[in-house]
Amino acid sequence: MARRQTVPPVFVPLEQEVSCAGYRCIAGLDEAGRGPLAGPVVAAAVILPVESRIPGLQDSKRLTARQRDSVYDHIQHQALAYGIGMATHTDIDQHNILRATQAAMLSAVRQCALQPDMLLIDGNVALPTSIAQRLIIRGDACCASIAAASILAKVTRDRLMLAYAQEYPLYGFERHKGYPTPEHYARLRTHGPCPIHRRTFRGVLAQSPAAGRAGHA
């Protein structure tokens, strides 16, 4: 019986296509953390060489944590520039998740050492900026720079949530990273929300009879 092999993704050469249209500094953008009940939303912007070939690069959701860490290092070494932006749980509660995500993405663009003249954005929501942009549904599965951004954002956020797991050990953040899992709901019902929970999210409101506890051990 033949061994199953992971087939690397075939990225549509969007960066080459956009480059041929006259754009010279093309950034892929993606985020991690729109759906969780706790913690920040993190965005990344990545500018890759047009002919870049990064080992193992694909949609971050198809990689294990160890694989993401490895590809993360390759991206940082090969990218022409990259930036990380973040919106906290407080930002999310004050402005809503959509606006907070847009703010995180714009911050990621500003953090790039090179100023992009075209943004390739995963999803269907444009950014309020004068920089040219192209929205790509499931862009992390078909565009190299967006896939790279998805990995930087995911790894950065996961590491933040591991740190929060040490600060708030009652919630199991090291396992679910703040996402709405059965374990997370059970911890919320038992302990109420901790300071990094998103108080405006329905899942937090519905599962938090003990609201107001800090959650520290």
Domain residue limits, the chain:
14-166, 168-206
pLDDT band at 31 (very low <50, low <70, confident <90, very high): very high
User: Edge-to-edge strand order for the sheet containing 81-87?
Assistant: 81-87, 41-47, 26-32, 118-122, 132-136
Strand-pair category, 26-32 with 41-47: antiparallel
C-alpha separations of 139 from 18, 58, 177, 205 in Å: 14, 10, 23, 32
> What does each C-alpha distance from 207 to 3, 113, 134, 181 come to in angstroms?
45, 43, 38, 12
30 labeled binding residue = yes
User: Which architecture, in CATH terms, is 14-166?
Assistant: 2-Layer Sandwich (3.30)
> Which whole number is the average pLDDT over 90-119?
98
**Least confident residue range of 53-62, 79-88, 117-126:** 53-62
Q: Is the pLDDT of residue 46 over 80?
A: yes
At 9 the pLDDT is 54
Q: What is the pTM for the complete model shown?
A: 0.89
Question: Is 190 within 8 Å of 173 (Cβ atoms)?
Answer: no
Q: What is the average pLDDT score of the chain?
A: 90
User: Lowest-pLDDT range, 59-68, 79-88, 191-200?
Assistant: 59-68
Q: What are residue 28's phi and psi, to 5 degrees?
A: -90, 140
pLDDT at 5 over 70: no
Q: Is 93 part of any known ligand binding site? A: no
Helix spans in 79-215 (H): 89-95, 97-111, 144-167, 173-176, 182-191, 202-206
- Is 140 annotated among the ligand-binding residues? no
